[in-house]
Every structure is written in structure tokens, then in C-alpha cells.
Amino acid sequence: MNFKDKVVIVTGGGQGIGRCIAQTFASKGAKVVIAEIDDEAGLENEEYIRKNGGEALFVHTDVALEEDVKNMVNKTIETYGKIDILINNAGIGSGGTIYTILSQ
Ligand SMILES: NC(=O)c1ccc[n+]([C@@H]2O[C@H](COP(=O)([O-])OP(=O)(O)OC[C@H]3O[C@@H](n4cnc5c(N)ncnc54)[C@H](O)[C@@H]3O)[C@@H](O)[C@H]2O)c1
């Protein structure tokens, strides 16, 4: 599929599944916003995508903070003028049994 000039926000786009999603959209022509709480990971993926000929913008974002999300959306609109796709990927997982997870 071709995502040329589509604007895609990937929350948690610095590492893991989100990192791969961001790189894949960028490789298909999308402009990718990496909305990530971990600055080092977000910047690293922004640089990786740009070095590989893609378009990416890292915006420090904690998706649990309304102010951060508003700022990230404003920066996306300022930079790319629109939003086409949101990949709501950010999250944390924890292992263990149902009992240990519920008691955390
Ligand atoms: N890996 C799995 O097997 C699996 C299974 C089911 C669901 N998931 C879900 O898929 C998503 C990605 O999983 P993953 O394995 O790639 O995880 P990961 O920990 O490798 O990556 C998650 C990314 O989200 C970022 N992040 C965490 N909290 C954030 C916040 N508040 N605001 C912005 N960014 C934040 C992290 O810094 C990290 O870069 C998660 O939501 C996870 O719960 C993963």
C-alpha cells in the first residue's frame, strides 16, 4: 500500500511494536509523528527514519497527560497541516499471573 503524504501519529513510536509501525509507514511514504515519552528512543527512531529517506517528527508526549497530547496534536498540525491516521499503541505491559497483575 502507498501512504504517500499521509500524516500518521504513532504513540509509543520509539520502541518495540510502535517503532516498527512508524518505520513501516515512513517506508511507504507517510509523514510520521513519533509521540513518545522516552526522549532518547523517540529521537533515535526519528533519526533512523530520516537517515533512511523518510519523514519523521519526534514530539515528547506522555499520552496520559492532556497537555502533552494537545501539544503533540498542535505540533503535528503546525508541521504537516493535518492528521490522517492515529496508531494508539503506547502502553505498558506486565507479566505474572492474574493475581499478581491485579495486586500491582
Ligand atoms: N508485545 C506484546 O506481546 C504485546 C501484547 C499485547 C499488547 N501489547 C501492547 O502493544 C503496545 C506496544 O507493545 P510493545 O511490546 O511494543 O511495548 P514496548 O514497551 O516495547 O514499547 C512501548 C512504547 O510506548 C512508550 N510509552 C509507554 N508509556 C507511554 C506514555 N504514557 N506516553 C507515550 N509513550 C509511552 C514506551 O516508552 C515505549 O517506547 C503496548 O500498548 C502493549 O501493551 C503488546
pLDDT digits (tens, 9 = 90+) for 3-35: 999 999 999 999 999 999 999 999 999 999 999
Nearest Cα neighbor of 22 from 55, 53, 64 is 55
Q: Is 104 a residue whose pLDDT tops 80? A: no
Distance CA 18, CA 35 (A): 10
Confidence bin at 100 (pLDDT 50/70/90): confident
Whether the predicted model's global pTM rises above the 0.85 cut: yes
- Relative to the CA of 38, which ligand 1 atom is closest? 37
- SS3 state at 81: coil
- Provide residues with CB under 6 Å of ligand 1: 11-12, 14-18, 36-38, 41, 61-64, 89-93
Domains and CATH numbers, the chain: 7-100 (3.40.50.720)
